[in-house]
Structure 1
Amino acid sequence: MIFGRVKPLAAILAAAEKKSLPRTLGAFQLMLFGIGCVIGTGIFVLTAAGAQKAGPGLMLAFAIAGLICVVAALCYAEIAAMIPVAGSAYTYTYSTMGEILAWTVGWALVLEYAVAASAVSVGWSGYFTGTILNQFLGIQLPSFLAGAPLALGGIEGGFINLPAVVIALLMTWLLMIGTTESARFNAVLVTIKVTALSAFILLTLPSDQFSTDKFNPFLPAGVFGGFGSGIGAIGAAATIFFAYVGFDAVSTAAEETKNPQRNVPIGLIGSLLFCTIFYILVAAGAVGTIGGQPIMGPNGIPFPAGSEELARQCATFTEDNLPLVCSNEALAHVLRQIGWSGVGNMLGIAAFVALPSVILILLFGQTRIAFVMSRDGLLPESWSKVHPKWKTPHVITAVTGIVVAFAAAFLPVGKLADIANAGTLYAFMMVAIAVMILRKTAADAPRAFRTPALWLVGPLTIAGTIFLFFNLPLDAMLVLPLWGILGLVIYFAYSRSRSHLGRGIVELHEDDLEPTAPIHE
């Protein structure tokens, strides 16, 4: 049976032990990993887009997306502590629902991490060329080196987005030389980001220009904008969800974590709660000082974020009265508007300096999932080689980095946050299902962390992810099934026949061996 290839838990743990990665990460480093990936493009770039969709209800959108992530994190925490190996949702699905569904989850996570890493690389390139080169150094990078030819809204005459390529390859190299080195580098960048956002909160919330009147109307586009509309607080939450993409990367580091049963739940839930509180405070500071009302169309519905219609409306404003929803560097713009131009410029620099940590963790998550899929035989086995000196999966890291750099250089990644979200929501739903299945099929297995009220948290996670998915723009919803069909073609043409489990190659500890250990086919 296609759905019958369920990999035993003992086999997953034994395979991880035989071809394993060294355990070097603690709880604090995991929290920094989560914070490093979560605080990034979403808060620095998507604040304006979220305000255009929901107005001051942006705060509610952050809370909705954060709440769904919290219940998902509770599910992740139990299963990641129970199965402390790389692979995240892919591995969890393999152990409960079988190989083909595990492949679809791994394939969806490829979409999530690769698209997101490419998008953040392009975002970093914008800060580098605009803020650093132009504003501070007075250097104008030739247009053919600063814009992608296929990028929507890209620079006219662009041939390659060279800065995006450079930063993607640089982060790839850093991951290749060592996980510990990457974690130390990430800790420095997290400190910069948290300091910058703390300064923003301290300068906006107590500001004389802060007024609760600017939150009225709180929901100019309503709570629910309608199926496929992508507007309203729910539509904004579906987009803002990108601001939380990456907290699940903590679970992909379980195999490289000391005492994962304790540290992985701390890293997951701790980083998520920290970021959610930060996001809501930042949104309150931005809206309360300069306002956050969307620019409405003639039908009383906000113009779509990133649309030509919105761009034309924004062009009618001067820099002195530019609305929040029109700014490409929303937080720095807020500080300039309330008289803190110097700090605003510094915040722009902080975003430029700190965004590489997001790329780093997205690449980390992508490589670890592909590493485990390779270890299972579903991807070329050479990809799971571990470097003798660096102790990292250098082959798959290099392959991933090249693909991400190529996408950042030539492909239209600027509007793909919603597409990345589609893959993430699918993976989160499958994790919740896997936890509930394991409560039945492996009821006696040790659990260092148990999801409280799983009978409620599990279904809430499933319902929440489905609800957000159907509030994505229609084109983003269509990408996931199309990407999934492509993945299934690859699975049946290549991976299924090479699967270790399908060929009867199952690693087991001696204590777990049975006289006839069946492979469920």
Structure 2
Amino acid sequence: MIFGRVKPIDAILATAEKKSLHRTLGWFQLTLFGIGCVIGTGIFVLTAAGAQKAGPGLMLAFAIAGAVCIVAALCYAEIAAMLPVAGSAYTYTYTTMGEMLAWTVGWALVLEYAVAASAVAVGWSGFFTGTILNEFLGVHLPAALSGAPLSMGGVAGGIINLPAVVISLLITWLLMIGTTESARVNAVLVAIKVVALTAFIGITLTSAYFDPDKFNPFLPAGVFGGFGTGVGAVGAAATIFFAYVGFDAVSTAAEETKNPQRNVPIGLVGSLLFCTVFYIAVAAGAIGTMGGQPIMGPNGVPFPTGSEELARQCATYAADKLPLVCSNEALAHVLRQIGWSGVGNAVGLAAMLALPSVILILMFGQTRIFFVMSRDGLLPEVLSRVHPKWKTPHIVTAATGIAVAIAAAVLPVGKLADIANAGTLYAFMMVAIAVMILRKTAADRARSFKTPILWLLGPLTIFGCIFLFFNLPIDAMLVLPIWGAVGMVIYFAYSRNASHLGRGIVESHEAEAVTDVRPEVPGTH
């Protein structure tokens, strides 16, 4: 049976049950942890792309994306607390829906992590070019070396995004030689981000340039821009969903949380609510002071982000008159335009300092997914081979880094975020399905946290993910099934036959738990 290879919970938990983690975290620590994970890439990088899709309706887009994330987070929390093991949605699918669907989820996560890392690299490039080179050093990198062939932000004639390539390869090298991220350094970077954004909100909302009339029309492209267009408030929500990715890190801390039944949902929902309000305030400050109307095409629909048409339109503006939707470093650009150049440069510097750590985390997450899939035999063991000196998986890290650098070199940030979101939305949907299946097939299992009203929140998560997916641009929607088709070829050509579970290769303490029977679905026998 194609769907028959289900890895039992007992087998998955066999190793995790050997260790007991000390419960020390309260709701406040979890909330701060979630805020630190979420605030970062999206708000610094995608404000311009979101405004081009929705105009002032960007504020509504943040609320829509945040709402989908909150219901998804509650589903994620239950299964992460129940299965506190590596592999994320891939592992959860393996134990509920079988190996083939688990492979599709793992393959989608590969797309999510790698493309997301590329998007962050492109975002970092914008801040590096605008703040460090232009503002501090007075150096103007040629358009051919600072923009992708189809680059937004007024960069026409781009050939390669050289700074994005350099930072991608630098992070790859750091991961290969074994450099680890310090918790203290990460905390400092989080503080820098929050302080920078708080200063931005305070300055813009109280600025003499702030004018409520700049919010009219509020929805220039409407709420729904149309299937496959990726515009309108919902289209923008599908893109800036990227700004919320990272909240699931809170759920992974469930095993170390005091009273997880109470504190995990507070940490998840609290951090997401805080970030949503924060994001809406940032959008309000940016649009209210500078305006955020999209550049419309001849048909009355905003030019697509990352398109040649938008790049040509943006290139017609002088640097000091560049609209919000054309900026590669939107928040710093807004502050410079209203006379706060020093603070604007500080915001740009804060983003430039903070974003490399996000690239590192995403690429590390990519190698972790490869590790788990390789451990299950679905990918060749050579991919997880460890370097004798550096003690790191150098082969898969190098391969990932090269792929990230290539994508960052040739694609604009808006397109990259949309592609990454396609994989993320699919994974989140599968998590919601897995939670509902486990409620039936493993009803007696201990759960330190249970998703409230799962009968409602589970289907809402599935609907929300599908809804946002079909409001992505058509090219981003097509990437996922094409990528998935490539993955299925690999699965049937190699992975299915090499699978450890399929070949009966299991650890001795897992032997009794392993089965090759499809789980019973409610209503079927």
The interval holding the TM-score normalised by the smaller chain is: 0.7 to 0.9
Flag the 1:53–1:122 CA change in 2: closer, same or farther, 3 A: closer
CA contact 1:80–1:264 (8 Å) conserved in 2: no
CA contact (8 A) 1:15 1:508 kept: no
The separation in 2 between residues aligned to 1:336 and 1:130, in whole angstroms, is: 11
Query: For the residues of structure 2 that align with 1:391 and 1:268, how far apart are their CA atoms?
Result: 34
RMSD over aligned Cα, in angstroms?
3.4
| 1:419-430 alignment, distance < 5 Å | 419-430=419-430
Q: Does 1:482 find its partner at 2:479?
A: no
The one-letter code of the counterpart of 1:441 is T
Question: Is residue 21–residue 391 contact of structure 1 (8 Å, CA) maintained in 2?
Answer: no
Contact 2:52/2:293 (CA < 8 Å) preserved in 1? yes
Residue 378 (structure 1) aligns with: 378
Q: Which moved more, 1:225-234 or 1:181-190?
A: 181-190
Q: Which amino acid aligns with 1:10?
A: D
Tell me which amino acid in the other structure corresponds to 1:434: A
Letter in 2 for 1:500: H
Q: Distance in 2 between matches of 1:77 and 1:387?
A: 35
| Structure 2 residue 400 is matched with structure 1 residue 403 | no
Distance in 1 of aligned mates of 2:300 and 2:20: 55
Counterpart of 1:196 in structure 2 is 196
**Equivalent pair of 1:36/1:361 in contact (CA under 8 Å):** no
What is the distance in 2 between the residues matched to 1:287 and 1:346? 20
State the partner residue of 1:368.
368
Cα distance in structure 2, aligned partners of 1:398 and 1:450: 40
Aligned residues of 1:84 and 1:261 also touching (Cα < 8 A): no
Distance 1:260 1:78, change over 3 A: farther
* Kept in 2: contact 1:228–1:474 (CA 8 A): yes
In 2, are the aligned partners of 1:36 and 1:357 still within 8 Å (CA)?
A: no
For residue 519 of structure 1, the aligned residue among 512, 516, 525 is 516
1:126-137 pair list within 5 angstroms: 126-137=126-137
Partner of 2:521: none
In 1, distance between residues paired with 2:270 and 2:508? 34
Stretch deviating more after TM superposition (394-403 or 127-136): 394-403
**Kept in 1: contact 2:118–2:416 (CA 8 A):** no
Q: Give secondary structure in 1 for the equivalent of 2:3.
A: helix
Q: Please list the CA deviations of residues 263-315 of structure 1 after superposition, one character each: whole Å capped at 9, or x if unmatched.
A: 87666445433322211110111112222222333333223233333334334
Following the alignment from structure 2 to structure 1, what is the Cα–Cα distance between the partners of residues 494 and 259?
35
Q: May I ask how many residue pairs the two structures share in their alignment?
A: 512
1: CA distance, partners of 2:178 / 2:439: 36
Q: d(CA) in 2 for partners of 1:29 and 1:172? A: 31
User: By how many angstroms is 1:374 displaced?
Assistant: 1.4
Aligned mates of 2:237, 2:328 — CA distance in 1: 19
Question: Which runs of no fewer than 5 residues in structure 1 stay unpaired?
Answer: none
Deviations 1:148-191 (A, max 9, x none): 6x665778585x65533442244345556779734433222211
- For 1:123, the aligned partner's letter is G
Q: Which moved more, 1:360-369 or 1:135-144?
A: 135-144
Structure 2 letter corresponding to 1:297: G
Mapping of 1:466-505 within 5 angstroms? Answer: 466-505=466-505
Query: For the Cα contact (< 8 Å) 2:36–2:190, is it kept in 1?
Result: yes
Point out the more displaced range, 108-117 or 31-40. Answer: 31-40
The alpha carbon displacement at 1:96 in A equals: 0.3
CA distance in 1 between counterparts of 2:23 and 2:386 reads 15
TM-superposed CA distance for 1:48, in Å, is 1.4
Question: In structure 2, what residue type is equivalent to 1:204?
Answer: T
What whole-Å deviation, never above 9, does each CA across 1:416-465 have from its counterpart, x for those lacking one? 21111111111111000000000000111111111111111000000011
Output the amino acid matched with 2:424.
Answer: T
Superposition map of 1:327-338 within 5 A? 327-338=327-338
1:104-151 Cα deviation digits (max 9, x unpaired):
001011111101101211322232234213331244567786566x66
Q: What is the 5 A alignment of 1:199-278?
A: 199-248=199-248, 258=256, 262=260, 268-278=268-278
Question: How far is the alpha carbon of 1:82 from its aligned partner?
Answer: 0.6
Answer whether contact 2:51 2:58 (CA < 8 A) is retained.
Answer: yes
CA–CA distance in 2 between the matches of 1:322 and 1:151?
Answer: 18
Which segment is superposed worse, 81-90 or 205-214?
Answer: 205-214
Distance 1:94 1:50 in 2: 35
Distance 1:152 1:285, change over 3 A: closer
| TM-score, normalisation: structure 2 | 0.87
Aligned mates of 2:102, 2:304 — CA distance in 1: 35
Correspondence 1:16-165 to 2 at 5 A? 34-139=34-139, 152=151, 158=159, 161-165=161-165
Distance in 2 separating the partners of 1:354 and 1:142: 25
| CA shift in 2, pair 1:247/1:393, >3 Å | farther
1:50-79 per-position Cα deviation (integer Å, ceiling 9, x unaligned) = 112111111000000110011111111111
CA distance in 2, matches of 1:183, 1:245: 20
Question: What displacement does 1:43 show?
Answer: 1.3
Q: Are the structure 2 counterparts of residues 425 and 157 from structure 1 closer, same or farther at C-alpha, using a change threshold of 3 Å?
A: closer
Supply the distance in 1 between the matched residues of 2:371 and 2:443 (Cα, whole angstroms): 29
Contact 2:6 2:94 in 1 (8 A): yes
CA gap 1:186/1:167 in 2 versus in 1, 3 angstroms: farther
Listed one character per residue, the Cα deviations across residues 313-350 of structure 1 (whole Å, up to 9, x for unaligned) are 33444444433222222111221222212111111111
- Preserved CA contact (<8 Å) 2:230 2:236: yes
Shift of 1:26: 6.4
Between stretches 416-425 and 214-223, larger displacement belongs to: 214-223
Give the corresponding residue for 2:523. Answer: none
CA change 1:471–1:517 in 2 (3 A) is closer
The Cα shift of 1:260 comes to 9.7
On the 8 A contact 1:225/1:232 being kept in 2, the answer is yes
Deviates more, 1:264-273 or 1:455-464: 264-273
Alpha-carbon distance in 1 for matches of 2:218, 2:80: 38
Shift of 1:192: 1.3
Larger CA deviation: 229-238 vs 95-104? 229-238
State whether residues 127 and 352 of structure 2, in contact with CA within 8 Å, keep that contact through their aligned partners in structure 1: yes
Structure 1 window deviating more from structure 2 (129-138 vs 193-202): it is 129-138
Aligned equivalents of 1:297 and 1:360: distance in 2? 38
Q: Percent of pairs identical after alignment?
A: 78
User: Which position in structure 1 is the counterpart of 2:411?
Assistant: 412
